[in-house]
Amino acid sequence: MYLSNLIGRIVEKQYNTYKVQTETGVEKAHLKGKIFQTIKNKSEFPCVGDWVELNECDGTLQITRVLERRTQISRQTAGNVTEEQVIAANIDYVAIVLGLDGGRNYSDRLLERLTTVAWNSGATPLVILNKADLNDEAEYVKFQAETIAPGVDIIVTSVEDGTGINALTNYLSKGKVAVFIGPSGVGKSTLTNALLKKDVQKTNEIRRKDKRGRHTTSTSFMFELESGAYIIDSPGLREVQAWAEEQNLDDTFSEIAELSQYCRFSDCKHEGEPGCAIQAELERGYISPERYDSYLHLKKELAFLNRRKAEKNNNVERQYDKQFSKMVKREMSKKLELKKY
């Protein structure tokens, strides 16, 4: 039997093996060889959350096409290559989880960085300040975080005593997809388990498998909650390296973006130019020096990333140029040879 143009959604990815949710259930699927001819870079490979077209041939499913993504969260490929790797697609919320238990589990700078990555995804960023039971000043940290991530909803939670779990559940209605990002140990898996309720056992099994092979596994999952919402858990999202555009900084640092229209020069870099509105507000104390430094730092980091991206594109173009000139030479020499006769 041969069926074509079935539609499914990828719910699990391990290297190049996929599991796809179709109308009839979850099934294994492979990439159709032909798809490699149309894929130009790593970011176009199907990932968890992608809607795909499938062919069924003798009981095996083949992924033939990835449908256009509404949103996507990416990171930089590990190592020195500047390449975008999409980790999850068609997500509605990027939930940035931070811990209120002190140490490295919360910092304004980390929040700025992760908010920038979240804005770049096209999904709605959401901040979860977890472990409220371990901090008497949770509401104060929330207040502070609101100034660091303007325009982003912030939920204070504790899996320990149940604080905020209902508030979080309100976002996760039928069909919505959320991914948790944040440093290790802030409670991402614990939160997932709390949201899953009935299916705790199942997650634990999966988590154990995941934990055992943390360094070797690359399995990403999409879990369905009772409400019909989904949560994506991916090792790739645990150590998210910034992959964003400079313009995403305007969302993260919206007050700086707004103020910069009052700078004397329209291309003001806010680094000591005369008539700089940012500098003026910095002196008045409206913008903190730490936030200003963080802004410049992230801006430089993203500019660097963009330069490397551009260089890479140039290299690709140069390669095409080389191939083209080789082809021209070949054609020319053919013509010359023809002339000889």
302 binds, among Zn ion, ligand GTP, none (CB under 5 to 8 A by kind): none
Contact set for ligand GTP, span 157-186 (CB under 6 A): 158-160, 184-186
Q: Does 235 bind ligand GTP (CB under 6 A)?
A: no
Give me the DSSP letters along 42-100: GGGS--BT-EEEEEEETTEEEEEEEPPPS-EEEEEPSSS---EEEEEES-SEEEEEEES
Q: Does 278 bind Zn ion (CB under 5 A)?
A: yes
The one segment of 8-16, 68-76, 126-134, 299-307 that binds ligand GTP by CB under 6 A: 126-134
Which contiguous run of DSSP H or E holds residue 221? strand 220-224
Nearest approach, Cβ of residue 222 and Zn ion (Å): 43
Give me the DSSP letters along 155-171: EE--TTT-TTHHHHHHH
Alpha carbon distance 82, 78 (integer Å): 9
Nearest approach, Cβ of residue 212 and ligand GTP (Å): 12
Residues 6+ apart with CB under 8 A from 172: 178, 195, 225, 227, 229, 231
Nearest approach, Cβ of residue 299 and Zn ion (Å): 12
Interface with ligand GTP (CB under 6 A), residue from 130, 203, 234, 252: 130
Q: Does 98 bind ligand GTP (CB under 6 A)?
A: no
Interface with Zn ion (CB under 5 A), residue from 63, 94, 206, 263: 263
Which contiguous run of DSSP H or E holds residue 230? strand 230-233
Nearest approach, Cβ of residue 108 and ligand GTP (Å): 19
Where does this chain bind Zn ion (CB under 5 A)? 263, 268, 270, 276, 278
